[in-house]
Structure 1
């Protein structure tokens, strides 16, 4: 028995209605979906940390999600794991004609153009013809990632700034509009303007060729590191310090951790 056959067998036993695990039996596509997303992020975290033993384990956890969904689909007569793999193999061959069909693709841009054209053909065959340039971006993506993808699609037809400087100016304008909303005290307006600030910052990151998700993760990690140092340096709980003492402790932690 191969490793993948063993994994499929284990999953089938876990889902057995009579002898399986009560938790596994209870699950459905909707309840498992959040775990699938979480495991993908844990893979990304292991990569960011260059923790390759952890990456090996997290990739296994992500594979388990595919097997879990496939088992539930098989139970409902929808498809099974082998069909998932077959569809994937067919798609990879179809979307790489420059490798498998002898067509020409001289550089990465040509590959991307071919890929998008083939994806559009696939959508048409499935009856999913898109009417807008920005169609095809999954609504379930993390907000920062989805914002970037929508912006990139719009940029393909020229709806974009040409340089980072005007985008930075737009950030200032959006912040001014947020200040106005804050003055009004209107919660919906504040949320709307705050969203505009974030959306414009994603646009700026794109022009600066910075991954906003990675940049925010890096900033959060820096804050976490400094905060832990600040806690370690204090002889009293932070909750007992007043505002000025907290600021002094923070500045001390920054010096000690940087």
Structure 2
């Protein structure tokens, strides 16, 4: 069976500065894959390239179709949605308006209404604040909104770039619990770039380790948890 996402020989960067140097990576249907790496390894560049926010060369295939040259909205329409680093909510719009923007590629009004109700059930605080301007939410609430907004497009693959960054441990644990339920219940595949490697590895099936824009190693989550060098560098023990 072909992978849901297949990235081959991916190169990308900013201006004349190349950051990714031929990345090969894949995510299977319903799989959770985590990308680890030090600051500057190219993790965010990878996520931006896959989601169409950054020009790239090489191949990015999703569900068998090439999406490497697609604009971001076409990538979303194909079934890939990104929760960007730094949350990226539309701060001047309300919670409800942000969620409706997440469903912009859809035309099923009844389904959109049902999904709004669903995510308000999952994140009750968003329901309480649905008329509130997103920029006035707490950091944790904004991250919940960013996750829910990305899921409003009903993606087959959800990309999450450092969703734990700057958040309290309880909020992070709750968000990861939601991601685990999303994967288990709806079968949405996950590609996670995450600084909280311990939590990410607990959720992951497989792991890629990036070093200076290249895949240094890959394997099962258990292999990485059992690797002393990886534990010291990324798990803190």
Does the alignment reach a TM-score above 0.5? Answer: no
Structure number having the greater strand percentage: 2
> TM-score with structure 2 length normalisation?
0.29
Task: Compare CA radii of gyration and give the structure with the larger one.
Answer: 1
Structure number having the greater helix percentage: 1
